[in-house]
Amino acid sequence: MKTIRPSHRILFIGLLFLLTSCIIKDSPAPGCVEYIGFAPMGGCNGKTILMDLTLEGFPECVAVTINNCNGGVLEVQNDCSESLILSNLEIPPGESVSLDIKPAADGGFELIRTPSNFSDYSPTTDQSIKITGSIGDQALTISLTKTAPLCE
């Protein structure tokens, strides 16, 4: 029986590692990243993203972050003692929600609750989006960009 020398074993393992984890085209959209060999395991396949998030007037008890895993949604956590109003939605104290963005009938944008991190909105061109809201008497503004697909 033939045995594999240790130097050949290390070379084989190194080659296997390179073929399974080498990025040949990087992108901020997970669904647009291209790899040599097998892509890493995971469920992020979005081709659009949210970017340039700017928050105005938000108290520290509200956290707003972007999840670009599957097309770009907002993750909002309200740890304040008052309800948070964003666009057409009320987010009660202690609640955490995922919010997708969609075009509104008036030409603006509105937020919709989504039970996952999948966005249904995929614009044909980059869209500058402004969402207004309030918490108590304090006015709030979210500004961001939703990109067109970053690959085909």
pLDDT in tens, 81-114: 999 999 989 999 999 999 999 999 998 999 999 9
Report the distance separating Cα 10 and Cα 6, nearest Å.
Answer: 6
Give the per-residue pLDDT at 143.
97
pLDDT value of residue 34: 79
Above 80 in pLDDT, residue 35? Answer: no
What is 34-101 written as a DSSP string? EEESSPPS-----S--EEEEEEES--TTEEEEEE-TBS-EEEEEE-SSS-EEETTEEE-TT-EEEEEE
Cα separation, 56 vs 140, whole angstroms: 6
Residue 4: per-residue pLDDT:
62
pLDDT of amino acid 27: 81
